[in-house]
Amino acid sequence: AQSVTQLDSHVSVSEGTPVLLRCNYSSSYSPSLFWYVQHPNKGLQLLLKYTSAATLVKGINGFEAEFKKSETSFHLTKPSAHMSDAAEYFCVVSDRGSSNTGKLIFGQGTTLQVKP
């Protein structure tokens, strides 16, 4: 069965400094992995996704994530944080197992705080 663990519930960075949001996954199959962002009172927005192509995935707003099979990790990074990046971030794995439902399994979320 698939599962996702986001290692930090809360991350605080200063504006202009790098961002690292950590995510580890467990999957019996070749997983599809996603990062979603949720701003207050808004719906989820897809930042990027990995689907067995290039291991380094570039997303929107300067974010990128690297799929490391040996470490079962899919950490999200950004070289320089912006105030508008403050939000809740979810690491997600797609349950593509034998049922092929495409159901998403969410991590617990990481709150990113950006200080001026």
Partner 1 sequence: GAVVSQHPSRVICKSGTSVKIECRSLDFQATTMFWYRQFPKQSLMLMATSNEGSKATYEQGVEKDKFLINHASLTLSTLTVTSAHPEDSSFYICSARQGDNEKLFFGSGTQLSVL
What residues line the site for partner 1 (CB under 8 A)? 32, 36, 41-46, 49, 51, 90, 94, 101-109
Give the closest residue to 4 by CA, choosing from 109, 112, 111.
109
CB of 53 to partner 1, least distance (A): 13
CB of 79 to partner 1, least distance (A): 25
CA distance 74 to 20: 11
Give the rounded distance of the alpha carbon of 92 from its chain centre.
Answer: 7
CB of 58 to partner 1, least distance (A): 16
Nearer to partner 1, 27 or 32 (CB): 32
Q: How far is CA 84 from CA 10, 16, 28, 53, 115, in A?
A: 16, 12, 36, 29, 11
CB of 71 to partner 1, least distance (A): 22
Strands 56-58 and 64-68, sheet pairing: antiparallel
By the 8 A CB rule, do 111 and 10 touch?
Answer: yes
Nearer to partner 1, 45 or 55 (CB): 45
Nearer to partner 1, 20 or 60 (CB): 60
Nearer to partner 1, 51 or 72 (CB): 51
